[in-house]
Amino acid sequence: MATLSSQSRARRVGRILTYAAASSGAMFMLVPFVWMVTTSLKAPAQVFAYPIEWIPDPVKWENYRYVTSDWPFLKYMLNSALVALLTVIGSLISCSLVAYAFARLKSRLSRPLFIVMLSTMMLPGQVTLIPIFILFRNLGWIDSFASLVVPSFFGTAFYIFMLRQFFLSIPRELEDAARMDGCGTWGVFWHVVLPLSRSALAAVAIFAFMAAWNDFYGPLILLSSEGKRTAALALAIFNSAKGTDSGNRMHWAMAAATLTIIPTLLIFYRAQKYFVQGIVFKGVEK
Amino acid sequence: MIGDKVWVGAENYQTMVADPLFWQSLKVTGVYSMLAVPLGVLFALGLAVLLNQKIRGVNLYRTIFYIPSVISGVAAAMLWAWIFSPEFGVMNAALDLVGIEGPKWLYDPELVVPALVMMSLWSVGGSMIIYLAALQGVPSELYEAATVDGAGWWRRFWHVTLPQISPVLFFTLVTGMINSFQTFTQAYVMTNGGPKNASLFFGLYLYNNAFRYMKMGYASALAWTLLLIVLALTLLTFVTARFWVHQETDSGGWV
């Protein structure tokens, strides 16, 4: 009996340790968010109070009014949204077409081309940056959203890979039946394959949106005029423009940062399962 | 910026070898990767093992651990710069609670890279999800067999779990390295390479040359070097992988 009770005591200690570890992990993940939101609601004097005052008093909603009206941050967010939505459209069109070709239309070149495409996933983005910049400069696309959006119409390796794997899992009989009913390749793609692939297409749309929304390097080198800034670029410029009065701007900076992550969090909340699927897919199925 | 094109042969590469800032940026990036990638794998694996237990509220914890990784980029960098603020930041306030006087973090050449490593641990949620899926894919017969053979928790983890999930560890190690060698946004937004070039990441130095000093040719030479380094590291990981990555004999090909 003694051994049994010591065993159950060990198990209880183990459980307590597990919960303690999980809770401290959760603290580490959550405190920064709380800190960001409370800072965004404080008056400057309270921002620099020490010890830290966690509850904003008074709650300064004006910080958000300043960010959205005195500083056109909403406009920058709309710019980001426009770029991100167009990128989603481009990615869906190009990646689904290319992926279907790799999944079903076989030629001698399919395999080598597929390997070349996959290898671009390993290519660091910064390596292609200068050629891309020079290309767009010669096209006269610098400081235009086209330079950010048009590349998505030429496909992205990871999304193509993901969609191809999904298309391969669609039973061929369904496609054959459609062909018997007189559908051509295009008809099969449009009427059979795409409707069956809604979840995979949704995942691609979400990834493409998030990548474009969070993108900083692209807007930094390709955009220049003030009115075209994306939210990420505007945030960084606001941040670097500090200097002597930096102390008095932290509440605004955090308000803008909070606004920037709201769309991300909403999408994450609505579409959690796609994130998890896509991530798992990236890591495991290969 | 790009005037008459002049063929300069290997000149840019000769400049590079003699350029102390090139070596500095290489060192900064290398040290950061050596710390951030393995620590990230360990931390993510720890969280995944934790969430693979039967604990209450596991979905909530999973969401909480994962959320920071969707907030990449400028907003996260600004937030962490504020967290590390020596006088008013939450990091030093927490240290103060346990009676430690907080250091200057981003303003200290010795601590700026460790601080950025700490920040990188905030967004390991993606790897954690991958590991969690891999852990759940380990066949339970293997654990049962090991238990029958008298293996305790640690031996089961070392001899069953780790070999079974090693391909996934391998994948995240390679992609983690490729990503960490491209670190840019944190350096640009939080420290601008300082203090005393102690956080002059390779990606930032490349950007500075291309778009601040307008030396496109030299920046391209740096870009080629970056590509070669990433390729070499990837190959190294692949070559050593056969010693530690467990392969099922009947596993399908990669493509």
DSSP states of A34-56: HHHHHHHTS-HHHHT-SS---S-
Inside any domain, residue B185: yes
Are A132 and A227 in a shared domain? Answer: yes
Yes or no: say if A151 and A131 are a contact pair by the CB < 8 Å rule: no
pLDDT category of residue B110 using cuts at 50, 70 and 90:
very high
Q: Which residue is associated with the tokens 């030396």?
A: B215
Structurally, chain B folds into a number of domains equal to: 1
Yes or no: say if B206 and B22 are a contact pair by the CB < 8 Å rule: no
Are A58 and A102 in a shared domain? Answer: no
Q: What is the CATH number of the domain that holds B161?
A: 1.10.3720.10
Q: How many CB pairs under 8 A join A and B?
A: 175
Are A36 and A111 in a shared domain? Answer: no
The pair of structure tokens assigned to B195 is 């203090």
Are A54 and A74 in a shared domain? Answer: no
pLDDT at A102: 93
Residue B251 pLDDT exceeds 50 = no
Q: A283, B133: Cβ pair inside 8 Å?
A: yes
Query: Which tens digits make up the pLDDT trace of A207-222?
Result: 899 999 999 999 999 9
Are A44 and A175 in a shared domain? Answer: no
- Looking at A10, A38, A62, the residue that finishes a domain is A62
Model confidence, pTM: 0.87
Are A51 and A83 in a shared domain? Answer: no
Inside any domain, residue B42: yes
Q: Which one of B88, B129, B189 has the shortest CB-CB distance to A48?
A: B88
Cα separation, B231 vs B202, in Å, equals 15
Q: A130, B219: Cβ pair inside 8 Å?
A: yes
pLDDT category of residue A282 using cuts at 50, 70 and 90:
low
Inside any domain, residue B30: yes
Q: A32, B168: Cβ pair inside 8 Å?
A: no
The mean per-residue pLDDT over the stretch A117-139 comes to 87
* Domain carrying residue A30: 2-62
pLDDT at A233: 93
Inside any domain, residue B69: no
Q: B70, A268: Cβ pair inside 8 Å?
A: yes
Strand, coil or helix: B98: coil
CA distance A195 to chain B (A): 25
Q: A29, B210: Cβ pair inside 8 Å?
A: no
Are A235 and A272 in a shared domain? Answer: yes
Are A44 and A88 in a shared domain? Answer: no
Select from B226, B212, B217, B225 the least CA-distant residue to B182.
B226
Inside any domain, residue B157: yes
Are A71 and A198 in a shared domain? Answer: yes
Q: A32, B80: Cβ pair inside 8 Å?
A: yes
Query: Which tens digits make up the pLDDT trace of B197-232?
Result: 999 999 999 999 999 999 888 999 999 999 998 888
Structurally, chain A folds into a number of domains equal to: 2
Q: Which one of B50, B66, B87 has the shortest CB-CB distance to A22?
A: B50
A-chain CB neighbours of B68 within 8 Å are 29, 32-33
CA distance A194 to chain B (A): 23
As a whole-number percent, the residues of chain B with pLDDT over 70 amount to 95
Which residue of chain B is at minimal alpha-carbon distance from A241? B189
Yes or no: say if A217 and A129 are a contact pair by the CB < 8 Å rule: yes
* Mean pLDDT of chain A, nearest integer: 87
CB atoms within 10 A of CB B234: 16
* Burial of B19 from C-beta contacts in 10 A (0-12 / 13-18 / 19+): middle
Query: Which tens digits make up the pLDDT trace of A7-52?
Result: 788 888 888 888 999 999 999 999 999 989 998 998 888 888 777 7
Cα separation, A126 vs B223, in Å, equals 7
CA distance B110 to chain A (A): 23
Are A94 and A126 in a shared domain? Answer: yes
Are A13 and A86 in a shared domain? Answer: no
Are A84 and A42 in a shared domain? Answer: no
Query: Which tens digits make up the pLDDT trace of A50-67?
Result: 777 788 888 888 889 988
Cα separation, A67 vs A262, in Å, equals 15
Yes or no: say if B78 and B189 are a contact pair by the CB < 8 Å rule: yes
CA distance A21 to chain B (A): 8
Q: B192, A21: Cβ pair inside 8 Å?
A: no
Inside any domain, residue B173: yes
Cα separation, A253 vs B75, in Å, equals 9
Q: What is the CATH number of the domain that holds A241?
A: 1.10.3720.10
Q: Which residue is associated with the tokens 């009913």?
A: A181
B-chain CB neighbours of A19 within 8 Å are 55
Task: Indicate whether this complex's ipTM tops 0.90.
Answer: no
* Domain carrying residue B44: 11-54+126-244
